[in-house]
């Protein structure tokens, strides 16, 4: 899709695509940071350097593996009263809220 847009000089993407790109980038970053944290536990000699570098970049190493919070919240059924699939429930307002959340986290 991006190649077709480039050929037609179309805009970079819809709001939804931008939100998904931001979400994917944050998930990848969290996965890498979590893995680095696990490596720091296995190799304590790296721990101080890693913590200093992470703090210098104003980041933090997540305590939970990536994706564990989102799957845990859906398994309990808390608030999942809508029987429609997630794809049918997503609307533009939801995407804008998600974009706003990820801009400030």
**C-alpha dihedral sign at 7, 12, 13, 18:** positive
* pLDDT at residue 29 in the model: 92
Q: How far is residue 13's CA from residue 99's CA, in Å, rounded to a whole number?
A: 14
The answer to the question of residue 76 being in a domain is no
The answer to whether residues 26 and 102 touch, using CB atoms and an 8 Å cutoff, is yes
Q: How far is residue 34's CA from residue 31's CA, in Å, rounded to a whole number?
A: 5
The answer to the question of residue 25 being in a domain is yes
The answer to the question of residue 39 being in a domain is yes
pTM of the shown model:
0.54
Total domains, the chain = 1
Range of the domain at 36: 2-67+89-103
Q: How far is residue 9's CA from residue 12's CA, in Å, rounded to a whole number?
A: 9
The answer to the question of residue 79 being in a domain is no
* Run means of pLDDT, 10 residues per run, the chain, 105 residues: 65 78 90 93 92 93 77 47 58 62 59
Give 23: exposed, middle or buried? Use CB within 10 Å, 0-12, 13-18, 19+.
middle
Greatest Cα-to-Cα distance within the chain, rounded to the nearest angstrom: 52
**C-alpha dihedral sign at 78, 79, 80, 81:** positive
The answer to the question of residue 73 being in a domain is no
How many other CB atoms are there within 10 angstroms of residue 44's CB atom? 8
The answer to the question of residue 80 being in a domain is no
């Amino acid at each position: 899709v991006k190649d077709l847009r480039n050929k037609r000089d179309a805009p970079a993407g819809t709001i939804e695509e931008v939100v998904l790109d931001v979400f994917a980038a944050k998930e990848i970053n969290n996965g890498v940071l979590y893995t680095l944290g696990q490596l720091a536990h296995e190799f304590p000699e790296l721990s101080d350097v890693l913590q200093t570098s992470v703090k210098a970049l104003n980041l933090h190493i997540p305590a939970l593996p990536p994706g564990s919070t989102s799957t845990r919240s859906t398994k309990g059924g808390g608030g999942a009263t809508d029987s429609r699939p997630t794809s049918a429930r997503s609307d533009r307002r939801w995407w804008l809220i998600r974009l706003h959340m990820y801009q400030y986290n």
